[in-house]
Homo-oligomer: A and B are copies of this chain.
């Protein structure tokens, strides 16, 4: 298990006042991202409370010392790919250094407060960017309840296919349309076969959906194409985010046989911009939940005792919906679902080991989606396909409105938090997207 050190101490406080008790970004989190301020180009930052710590500006001000200089020098570009490609120790050294600078009674406080250009920025005045050049985007299907519920709609008697509990099922998805929150997502056009019709047509999707997944960022992995042993597969994970895999269910239904989903998934994917590190999440590792008695044991290449003992992640997930009518009435977003990432059938390390077993190269900056994470009840559903049973049982909102699928103007917010007694709570930051109308043709 990962060592906990003083950067995790719940008593640790920051001289950045907004960080103390912050719902997402206390000093125990220190997630990495890429931001720009009005007067500058995109650069690497660390979220601290309502502010962003500019790693490059701090490096130029000479605030890093010793081996932390090496770590900070990997963060001088416009993406995190260089740090991602370095040994994970570099990320840990950076974390320790930044924690030290931002903690109360830090020697760096005065320098940071008075430096020009600013080392500390108001997050509200910054724009977030993709944290990395993304090579490959692999979308897994590790949410067991999602697989069962979605499978039941197609095969009521036999929802889960025979391979599911043996193979971490996945498909390659499209990296070019991944963007960061907050996003505006235009309702896509596509080819669909309307219910009862014999001929398809092109139209705007009528079954536009969100999917709440965790995103898993890949760091230094196997540029040589050697399979990654499960015992070291966890070290390949650079961090985590939330991931909304927007899906057009009607397009998906018509296109997905025999080769899987394609355009139904490639209009847009929205990720939360901050990368929550394995170090920040160390206190929230959990045993892989018990299998059902009849479940098969994973094959040896997917089995590792330490991974089984604490390779899973306990993360609370919430989905909020705000319609344009709610926005006009100044009503807050409504929480429509909540669940926990512990319902994932496979650990991140198992996903990595499986992905590379055939010699597939994983590169720094690749990202995995876990698959939609749902509990086994409606109000823990990670997508509307499950929540409304493909539109059959509309969701009634507090505003009196109903939803079978998303409508124009709807704003979906994904939230994720880790909580455990004796530790500061760690948040992922909001992942928000609003649906805009389709193009007129």
Contact = CB atoms under 8 A, between A and B. Distances in A.
A118 interface: no
Interface in A170-221: 170-177, 186, 188-191, 193, 199-202
A398 interface: no
A166 B200 CA distance: 7
Given A172-B174, A263-B360, A359-B188, A163 B257 contact: yes
A296 B366 CA distance: 40
Interface stretch (A69-77, A248-256, A276-284, A307-315): A248-256
A361 interface: yes
B190 A358 contact: yes
Interface in A149-163: 151, 154, 161-163
A258 B359 contact: no
A350 to B, nearest CB: 12
Interface in A324-373: 354-355, 357-363, 366
Contacts of A227: 189, 439
A223 B261 CA distance: 22
A200 B251 CA distance: 33
A234 interface: no
Contacts of A355: 263
Interface string A400-425: 00000000000000000000000000
Contacts of A135: 175-176
A267 B358 contact: yes
A2 interface: no
A4 B189 CA distance: 37
Contacts of A136: 174-176
A251 B357 CA distance: 11
Contact of A174 (B177, B193, B248, B360): B360
B362 A176 contact: yes
Contacts of A188: 357-359
B361 A177 contact: yes
Nearest to A268: B359
Nearest to A225: B177
A181 B243 CA distance: 37
Contacts of A363: 176
A266 interface: yes
B360 A259 contact: no
A156 to B, nearest CB: 15
Given A141-B259, A360-B263, A172 B169 contact: no
Given A167-B191, A167-B200, 8 more contacts: A166-B191, A171-B172, A171-B260, A177-B359, A188-B357, A190-B357, A202-B299, A264-B358
Interface of A: 135-136, 141, 151, 154, 161-163, 166-167, 169-177, 186, 188-191, 193, 199-202, 225-227, 248, 251, 254-264, 266-268, 296, 299-301, 354-355, 357-363, 366, 439
**Ranked 7 nearest A-B pairs via Cβ:** A260-B260, A188-B358, A172-B172, A171-B259, A266-B360, A176-B361, A259-B260
26 contacts: A135-B175, A136-B176, A154-B258, A161-B257, A166-B200, A167-B200, A167-B255, A169-B258, A171-B259, A171-B262, A172-B173, A172-B262, A176-B360, A176-B363, A177-B225, A177-B359, A177-B361, A186-B359, A201-B299, A202-B301, A202-B357, A227-B439, A258-B260, A263-B355, A263-B360, A267-B359
